[in-house]
Each structure stands twice: as C-alpha cells, then as structure tokens.
Amino acid sequence: MSRQQDILTLPHDQIEAIQLEGVKKTVIKCYENVEFYKKSFDAAGFNPYEIESLEDLAKAPFTTKQDLRDNYPYGFFAVPLSEVKEIHMSSGTTGIATVGGYTDHDLEIWGDCFARGVEFANGGADDVMQVCYGYGLFTGGLGAHYGGVAAGCMTIPMSAGNTERQIRVMRELGTTILCCTPSYAMHIADTAIAMGLDPKKDFKLRAGIHGAEAFSDNFRADLEKKLDFKVLDVYGLTETMGPGVAIECWEQNGLHLAEDHFFAEIIDPDTGEVLPDGEWGELVITTIDREATPVVRYRTRDITRIIPGECACGRTHRRIDRLHGRTDDMLIIRGVNVFPSQIEDVMKTMPELSSWYVIELTTVAHLDRVTLKVEMEQGFDFDEIRQIERLQKELEAKLKTALSVGVKVKVVEPKSIPRSEGKAKRVIDLREGVN
Ligand code: DLL
C-alpha cells in the first residue's frame, strides 16, 4: 500500500503535472485511434497536439452517452481487440448499453483505485470483504473484487441476491467490509433484523463501501445504526472505468477523486462553461491513462461540486461532494428542481417511516402530480388510521418547508414496495406523453 500512500499525499502541483502529461497523451491517442474523436475534434477545430495546460482541455468538444451508444459496441476502442482482456456494460435501462473495455493495465489500475476505498476504511490483509454488487456485466462486482484482492483482503465473490445466504456468510465467515448498493445493504440489514439477529453482536462488520446510486445523509445514518458500521460512498461509471473514480475517506466529507487517473471538470450543464471550485454543476471526466476505452470530456450527467480546500485526512486529491443524483433523475415539480434523494433526506427525519419508498409521477388535469409512497417502519402500528393520517400530513408539511414542493404522501404497509438487489428504482413515471 505504500505506493498508494505516496501518490495520495503528493503535493497538488505534482498531481497536476501528472494530469497534464496524461491528458496530452489521451487526446492524441483518441484522435489517432478512434474515428469518432478524429471527426469530432476536426469539426470543433480542436488541435489535440496543442494542449499546453489543463485549462486548454476546455477547447475540446464533449463526449456524451449518445455518442458512445451511436458507436456501440467497439467504436470507442483505442487498442486492437486482441489487447482487450475484459469488457463490462452499463445496465442500459435508459437505452442501448454502453461498453467499456479493459487491457491488463486498465484492470490493474481499476483494482488500485477501488483498493483506495479499503485503505480509506483503514483496511487490508486482516479484512474479510464480501462483494454483493452484481458481477454480470455490471462493473460493481468485479471492480470491488479487484480492489479487495489488490488491498490484500480475503474477498468473497457473492454477487447480488439470495439475501438470507448473504447474511449467513456474513455471520459465519466474519465479514468486516461489505460492498453493495446502499439500498441492498439496507435490505440486508432489515432482513437480518427480521431474522432475529442483532448486527452488533452477530456480525463483525466495520465498514461498508456503498455506491452506484444516490443515498441521502439520513439514509446513511439509519444504515450505519442498523448494521453498526461506517459507510463510505464510492462513485464511478462504466464509461470511465466503474467504481473507484472517487471514494470517501474516513472523514466522510466528500469523495477523493483518483486524480492520478482522471481529470475532472465541473460545467454549467446548460452553457457548457467550466465552473470554479465550490460551484455545483455537471461532472465531466477525461481519463488520463486508460488504454482500451479512453474518453475525453465525458459528460456524466451527475450533479456535484469540487469541495474547496484540503481534507482533514491529509490526502491531497481533490474531493467531489456526495451526489444528489443525475440530471435525468431530477424532478421538476411545479418549477422547482428536486432530486429523489432530497425527498428521502426529509422523509428519513421521521423514525416511523422506513427507507423504502417510490415516487410516482402522474398527470392530473394536465398538471404533473407527484405522489410519494413510503412504507411504515416495522414495529410501528400500521392499523392506527389516525397515526397514518398524521404522518402523511406531517411529511407533506416538512417537504413543503424544506424543499418548497407540493408532494402527496401515502404511507403504505411494511414490505409492500419491491426490494432491489442492485440499484433501487425510486421513480415511476406514469405521466401522459412520457415514455
Ligand atoms: O454504477 C458503477 C459503480 C458500481 C459505482 C458500484 C459505485 C459502486 P453505471 O451502472 O455505469 O456504473 O452507473 C453510473 O450511477 O453516472 C451515477 O449516476 C450513478 N452513481 C454511481 N455511483 C454513485 C454514487 C456504476 N456514489 C451512474 N452516488 C453514475 C450517486 C452514483 N450516484
């Protein structure tokens, strides 16, 4: 781990020097090997041989998910397929899947990046890491797996699903680090408690490295309490590698970008202008040393900001703030922009309400209607009609005060909302003319 420690505390000007070298190589490599980039750079009048500073990269055109889809499956590969050792694909729930390729070198970097999460959790050879992100095509399973192995952990490749078996393995093999989506971790916690287990006594969990979907601070606090461990947020996406692009350290105060492998910009999503540190906008990523599928100025659609200043942990890699969600998930409720995770944060201030909810969008008299269905927490009395009505009114009022939005709240019976083993589906759009 010492090489990692050195790189993680490098003075920032030295990190920038690594980034500049990497960015220069990436744009040339893309221009010379990927037809899409040749055309797009030429059309934008961008000369890839003339980058002299990191700011110069702002002259390059963006790459979008649609560009990747239009070139499915191999159009973005910058090396011969004979050098590609593995591929992964995004879930494709919002359209055609996108494909990421990995050479031996890319796989090594991926393992190193996720291994930082283990290091941030003060972990290593004495840890037992249980990976219950899906392994099939999704980047979560193998990304976390390579990280566990690189960090020296005993790594258990569970993949997602079969929750009671996950719990048995966790208990019998003494899992200390859990890796899965936060919603699946919550499902594991609730199932273990319903099985009569006491996570404090029955498990040896210390840390969870959870990501792939947005989750609020209050959701996290509830999960930490239920499983008696500390939750670190991990971010990543198929198009740039998978999990490990940025991970939270023990301070839980933003996610350190792996800046020696990725160059991040925050842009105004409407104008494309680069925004200064501290301002919220869309995260744009350029890979620095990716071989198989490098990307230049990839628009992630994820909304975050660079947290100004240094982290108390002493590591020098800049941090992004926890994500509210993707621009595509943002709800516009009567003109107010709201992310489901912000609704979740307000909802989770009420102990009678569980972490299971869906937001339904419908059309009533030509207007959008937003209904939040939230389950009652187990152990509270669902048959008490007056209590249900009180909770509904209280949450509606809290949402109005906190987010200035009008949401109809329906408290529903425990276990009535479908559980997910991967990313939870929080929004159901039934509006007329949509989908
Ligand atoms: O979700 C990679 C991943 C796996 C990350 C395991 C973390 C853990 P995709 O399926 O391509 O890849 O989806 C990428 O998921 O653009 C975000 O919108 C969202 N996302 C990922 N991590 C977080 C996070 C994986 N920590 C998309 N918080 C991204 C909020 C996240 N959203």
From 302, 305, 324, 427, the mutation candidate for ligand 1 (largest count of ligand atoms within 8 A of CB) is 302
Nearest CA, atom 9, ligand 1: 237
Question: Is 353 near ligand 1, meaning CB less than 6 Å away?
Answer: no
Question: Is 133 near ligand 1, meaning CB less than 6 Å away?
Answer: yes
Residue 392: its pLDDT value, please? 97
Residue 385: its pLDDT value, please? 83
Q: What is the pLDDT of residues 123-172, one digit of tens each?
A: 999 999 999 999 999 999 999 999 999 999 999 999 999 999 999 999 99
Q: Where are the alpha helices (DSSP H) in 94-172?
A: 104-120, 139-150, 163-172
Number of H helices, E strands in the chain: 12, 21
Q: What is the pLDDT of residues 248-283, one digit of tens each?
A: 999 999 999 999 999 999 999 999 999 999 999 999
Domains of the chain, earliest start first: 1-327 (3.40.50.12780), 331-429 (3.30.300.30)
Residue 372: its pLDDT value, please? 97
Ramachandran quadrant class, 394 (left: phi over 0; alpha: psi -120 to 50; beta: rest):
alpha
Q: How many Å lie between the centroid of ligand 1 and the Cα of residue 184?
A: 14
Nearest-angstrom CA–CA distance, 156 and 178: 10
Give the three-state DSSP class for 420: coil
- Cβ-contact 227, 203 below 8 angstroms: yes
Nearest-angstrom CA–CA distance, 265 and 281: 9
What is the block-wise mean pLDDT of the chain (435 residues), using blocks of 10 residues? 77 98 98 98 98 98 96 97 97 79 98 98 98 96 98 98 98 98 97 96 98 96 97 98 98 98 97 98 98 98 96 98 88 87 95 95 89 92 87 97 94 94 92 73
Q: How many Å lie between the centroid of ligand 1 and the Cα of residue 211?
A: 6
Q: How many Å lie between the centroid of ligand 1 and the Cα of residue 93?
A: 13
Residue 96: its pLDDT value, please? 82
Residue 1: its pLDDT value, please? 45
Question: Is 327 near ligand 1, meaning CB less than 6 Å away?
Answer: no
SS3 track for 181-218: CHHHHHHHHHHHHHCCCCHHHHCCCCEEEEECCCCCHH
Question: Is 205 near ligand 1, meaning CB less than 6 Å away?
Answer: no
Q: How many Å lie between the centroid of ligand 1 and the Cα of residue 14?
A: 28
216 token code pair: 């609020």
Give the three-state DSSP class for 104: helix
Nearest CA, atom 29, ligand 1: 237
369 token code pair: 């209607």
Nearest-angstrom CA–CA distance, 349 and 359: 17
Nearest-angstrom CA–CA distance, 313 and 255: 12
Residue 328: its pLDDT value, please? 81
From 137, 231, 235, the mutation candidate for ligand 1 (largest count of ligand atoms within 8 A of CB) is 235
Nearest CA, atom 10, ligand 1: 90
Nearest-angstrom CA–CA distance, 337 and 228: 34
Q: How many Å lie between the centroid of ligand 1 and the Cα of residue 127?
A: 24
Question: Is 234 near ligand 1, meaning CB less than 6 Å away?
Answer: yes
